[in-house]
Structure 1
Amino acid sequence: MSEAKVRDVSRHSPPQYSRTGTSRSAGATHPGYKRDQNEDAFWSDENRGVWVVADGLGGHQAGEIASKTVVEEVQRSAATDRHYEHALQRAHALLLGDEQSAGNMGSTAVVMAEEGPYFHVYWVGDSRAYLWSPGSPTGQLRQLTNDHSYVQMLVDSGAINAQEAASHPNRNVITRCIGGSTNPSLDVDRMSSPWGPGDRLLLCSDGLSTEVEPEAIAEILSANPDPRRAADLLVAAALDAGGKDNITVQVIDAPHQHEADRTGGPRPRRQNHTAGRRAIVIAAFILAVASGLWAGWRFGLLTF
Structure 2
Amino acid sequence: MRYITVTALSHPGLIRGHNEDSLVVGPWTLCGTVTENPQTLVFPLGQPLVVAVADGIGGQPAGDVASALTVRHLATLGPSLDSEDAVRDALTLCNRAVYAAADRDPALTAMGTTVAGTVVLPDALLVFNVGDSKVLETDGDGVRQVSVDDSPPLREGQRTTSLVTQAIGGATRFCAITPHVTTAPLAADSRYVVCTDGLTDPVLDDEIGELMRAHDGGRAAFELWKAAIEAGGPDNITLAVIGVVE
Which band: TM-score by shorter chain?
0.7 to 0.9
In the alignment, which residue of structure 1 is the partner of 2:241? 251
Q: In the alignment, does 2:87 pair up with 1:95?
A: no
Q: Does the aligned pair in 2 maintain the 1:39–1:60 contact within 8 Å?
A: no
- Superposition deviation, residue 184 in structure 1: 3.5
Q: Percent identity?
A: 28
Q: Secondary structure, in 3 states, of the residue corresponding to 2:77?
A: helix
TM-score (norm 1): 0.67
**What stretches of structure 1 of length at least 5 have no aligned partner?**
1-21, 258-304
In the alignment, which residue of structure 1 is the partner of 2:166? 176
Q: Secondary structure, in 3 states, of the residue corresponding to 2:245?
A: coil
> Which segments of structure 1 move beyond 3 Å, counting only runs of 4 or more?
58-61, 79-82, 100-103
Q: Does the aligned pair in 1 maintain the 2:81–2:119 contact within 8 Å?
A: no
- Output one character per residue of 1:148-186: Cα deviation in whole Å (capped at 9) or x when no partner: 012xxx25xxxx45xx2216xxx1011110001224411
- Superposition deviation, residue 58 in structure 1: 4.5
- Superposition deviation, residue 59 in structure 1: 5.0
The 5 A counterparts of 1:270-285 are: none
Q: In the alignment, does 2:189 pair up with 1:198?
A: yes
Q: Does the aligned pair in 2 maintain the 1:58–1:104 contact within 8 Å?
A: no
Q: In the alignment, does 2:5 pair up with 1:24?
A: yes
Whole-Å separation in 2 of the counterparts to 1:34 and 1:58: 13
- Superposition deviation, residue 92 in structure 1: 1.0
- Superposition deviation, residue 111 in structure 1: 1.9
Q: Does the aligned pair in 2 maintain the 1:57–1:104 contact within 8 Å?
A: no
Greater relative contact order structure (CA < 8 Å, 6+ sep) = 2
In the alignment, which residue of structure 2 is the partner of 1:240? 230
Q: Secondary structure, in 3 states, of the residue corresponding to 1:165?
A: coil
Q: Which moved more, 1:69-78 or 1:188-197?
A: 188-197
Aligned-partner residue type, residue 159 of structure 2: A
Distance 1:210 1:81, change over 3 A: closer
Q: Does the aligned pair in 1 maintain the 2:193–2:240 contact within 8 Å?
A: yes
Q: In the alignment, does 2:159 pair up with 1:166?
A: yes
The 5 A counterparts of 1:59-138 are: 59=59, 62-80=62-80, 82=82, 83-97=86-100, 98=102, 99-100=105-106, 103-134=109-140
Whole-Å separation in 2 of the counterparts to 1:101 and 1:79: 33
- Superposition deviation, residue 197 in structure 1: 3.3
In the alignment, which residue of structure 2 is the partner of 1:142? 144
**What stretches of structure 2 of length at least 5 have no aligned partner?**
27-42
Structure with the largest fraction of helix: 1
Whole-Å separation in 1 of the counterparts to 2:202 and 2:212: 16
After superposition, the CA RMSD in angstroms is 2.0
Q: In the alignment, does 2:180 pair up with 1:189?
A: yes
Structure with the largest fraction of strand: 2
